[in-house]
Amino acid sequence: MYRSVFRPGLFAGQVVIVTGGGSGIGRCIAHELAALGATAALVGRNPDKLRAVREEIAAEGGRAQDYVCNIRDEAAVHELVAQVLRDHGRVDGLVNNAGGQFPAPLKDISAKGWEAVLQTNLTGGFLMARECLTQHMQGHGGAIVNIVADMWGGMPSMGHSGAARAGMVNFTETAAFEWSQYGVRVNAVAPGYVASSGMDQYPVWMAENIRAMPATVPLNRFATEAEISAAVTYLLSEAAAFVTGVTLRVDGGRPNVRGGTPMPAPQHAAEPFNGFHLAATPRVLQAREDNDASA
């Protein structure tokens, strides 16, 4: 089963919504929360992916339920949270993990493309958080974790996503203040380069750039999905009861790289933590592993 560093039963009796729970980091987070006793409410647009994750969790004795929803649709988000409450009677946590973008320089992004990325990565997260607050957390407390990105210093070729993620960081800080009166904590996790299935969604021409990413990271590797999940789990947990308005970077020190300063040569590997027993190497990185093995 999932090898979490957190104590068994940490979230026993709790219900946590995970958007984008059908694949990648969201799938991993859902598995860890379920392994720790939570009921994971899996949200996404692909019913087959959601069903597959629900069945994975159920096969290991965990609890999960899948909900198909387009988080950019305000009415649909309202009904989604209402349905989770009808099914389970509570919402203790929300992980705003759903997101998506496409590579393009700013000059080539249409208004439609810009809006689509902002709606998915910013507006959808706001709608989910607002509905969880107003429908339940306002009277019961809770914890919200927003997944953002390493957008410090700009995101060349991903400017629409960078703008959305920066907006989500600011939303996190504002909501943390405004919603503190209700006992609701709002934090964010900013992953760096993560070896996740999302890498396989990018165009083929990006493959070499993706495989070269670790060379720009001080810890000289990709993050695992479990390392992101562990940060999310901490922020949802009682151990973070006095933590709110924080963006926790899980990026191997990537934003600390400065132009003109050579990257230190790796002398001792920073070993990854990989507690997710179902994790798989993205296809785009398999060629890198094959090359390393043959070297």
Average pLDDT of the chain is 93
Residue 9 has pLDDT above 60, yes or no: yes
Residue 209: pLDDT over 80: yes
User: pLDDT band at 167, cuts 50/70/90?
Assistant: very high
Residue 288 has pLDDT above 70, yes or no: no
216 alpha carbon, distance to own chain's centre: 22
Q: What's the whole-number mean pLDDT along residues 192-212?
A: 83
Q: Which CATH class is domain 15-254+273-294?
A: alpha beta
40-44, 241-245, 270-274, range with the lowest pLDDT: 270-274
Q: What is the distance between the alpha carbons of residues 131 and 137, in angstroms, rounded to a whole number?
A: 9
Residue 293: pLDDT over 70: no
Question: Can you tell me which residue has the tokens 């070499």?
Answer: 208
> For residue 46, how many other CB atoms are within 10 A of its CB?
12
Q: Work out the average pLDDT over 177-186.
A: 98
Q: Residue 268: helix, strand or coil by DSSP?
A: coil
Helices 74-88 and 124-132 meet at what angle, rounded to 10?
40
The burial of 39, by beta-carbon neighbours within 10 Å (0-12 exposed, 13-18 middle, 19 or more buried), is given as: buried
pLDDT band per the 50, 70, 90 thresholds, residue 196: confident
List, for residues 73-111, the tens digit of each pLDDT value.
999 999 999 999 999 999 999 999 999 888 899 999 999
- Cα 295 to Cα 278: distance, rounded to the nearest angstrom: 27
**pLDDT grade, residue 210 (50/70/90)?**
confident
Position 286 confidence tier, pLDDT thresholds 50, 70, 90: confident
Give the single-character DSSP code of 19: E
Does residue 279 register a pLDDT over 70?
yes
Question: pLDDT at position 268, please?
Answer: 83
The stretch 210-219 carries a mean pLDDT of 89
Q: Is 290's pLDDT higher than 70?
A: no
Please compute the mean of the pLDDT values over residues 199-205 and round it to a whole number: 77
**pLDDT at position 295 over 50:** no
Q: Which residues pair with 43 in a beta bridge?
A: 19, 67
The mean pLDDT value for 274-289 works out to 84
Q: Using 50, 70 and 90 to split pLDDT, how confident is the model at 239?
A: very high
pLDDT value, residue 241 = 98
Which among 117, 282, 96 is positioned nearest to 189, based on CA atoms? 96
Question: Does the pLDDT value for residue 132 go beyond 50?
Answer: yes
Q: What does the pLDDT look like over 51-66, one tens digit per residue?
A: 999 999 999 999 999 9
Q: Which helix (H) or strand (E) holds 96?
A: strand 93-96
DSSP states of 195-261: -SGGGGGS-GGGHHHHHTGGGGSTT-SPBPHHHHHHHHHHHHSGGGTT--S-EEEESTTGGG--TTS
